[in-house]
């Protein structure tokens, strides 16, 4: 993996060592699954259900986004979606807008990074 690619991945919170172990050291396999992530609908469903204030359904989408991003090593998105997941799990529906904005920023960063791979 070249230094530029490493820096792009790390900018999204990817722990290179751990993530590469998960993908059996196969960089091309990681990139394949990162590109598949762009078609995953968890993020768009999360944003839609949060906008609708359908918090019970939003919990499911936040939880899925957390899991998928964790499996791909997208640490920043994992952290922000995990925080919202826990807030929704506790049925705390107050002061969530900043959390959603953080998820949006982390998702945009991930999509930008993936587009450059």
Q: What is the pLDDT of residue 16?
A: 96
Q: Which two tokens stand for residue 98?
A: 């900043």
Q: What is the pLDDT of residues 10-64, one digit of tens each?
A: 999 999 999 999 999 999 999 999 999 999 999 999 999 999 999 999 999 999 9
**What is d(CA 27, CA 100) in angstroms, rounded to the nearest whole number?**
31
Mean pLDDT, the chain, integer = 97
Question: Could you tell me the fold of the domain covering 3-115?
Answer: 1.20.120
The token duo for 30 is 């990681």
Sketch the domain layout of the chain as residue ranges.
3-115
């Amino acid at each position: 993996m070249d230094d530029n690619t490493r820096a792009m991945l790390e900018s999204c919170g990817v722990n290179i060592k751990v993530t590469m172990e998960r993908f059996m050291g196969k960089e091309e396999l990681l990139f394949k699954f990162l590109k598949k992530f762009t078609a995953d609908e968890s993020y768009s469903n999360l944003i839609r259900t949060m906008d609708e204030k359908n918090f019970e359904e939003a919990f499911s989408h936040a939880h899925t986004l957390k899991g998928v991003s964790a499996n791909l090593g997208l640490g920043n998105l994992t952290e922000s979606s995990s925080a919202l997941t826990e807030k929704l799990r506790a049925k705390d529906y107050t002061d969530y807008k900043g959390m959603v904005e953080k998820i949006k920023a982390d998702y945009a960063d991930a999509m930008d990074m993936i587009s450059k791979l």
